Structure 1
Amino acid sequence: MLRLINALFLSLTLGITSISMAVARGQNSDIGTDIVICTGVGITTITVGPDGQPVKKIHLCPDGISLFTVAFSAPDVVVVPNVMVWRLALPADTVILPQEAPSPAARGPPLDV
């Protein structure tokens, strides 16, 4: 019974999101005039309708439904404690010597031919 409910829920979700995406793609993009305003912070675009009032654009994002399902269906993450498994140890007779710094090898710009 649970599988049937899940299948119906996913089918309904797929149908609703596909309809909303079809409506969003079929919208007339000529709903107004875009006005670009340069502010001190950046550029802002405002869409103005035929009556001169700002018009809200609706942007449907299909990724939202997947985030919604992941938030409620993801299993809890098991936290593994930090445990040192092995340690790299140098032999006792190893002598660590500092390396000499390389000399700077500056050169001029390439010659004109």
Structure 2
Amino acid sequence: MQVRYLEIANRIRREIHRRHLAPGTRLPVARQLAAQFGANENTVLRALRLLRSEGVLDFGRGRAVTVRHPLPEQQLAALEEVRAVLTNALRAGSSRQHILAVLDEVARAPDRPPV
């Protein structure tokens, strides 16, 4: 079973990927999204912050949250694979600190392709 904020983030991500939410579309406020998803407002905000950190959403002035241009299919698939591996590592007992250290190590690898 997936963590609730990840489930919400995945649902929003799918809507963007399927072009049901076009770039520039303004999302409803967190309270409305919470009612729509049947979740706590803080859970929705956590999902939105995750999507912002991935470059999927922009946070504007006030409460404005808009959809950015979607990531290419290959990047989306790769991020989904990473998310599944991280979820499995957490379930297996890996600490957040250890996972972040591994991510940092991979990101700093000299053979890492340019972004």
* TM value normalised by structure 1: 0.28
Asked which structure has the greater RCO (Cα within 8 Å, sep 6+), the reply is 2
Question: Which of these two proteins has the greater Rg computed from alpha carbons?
Answer: 1
Higher-strand-fraction structure: 1
Higher-helix-fraction structure: 2
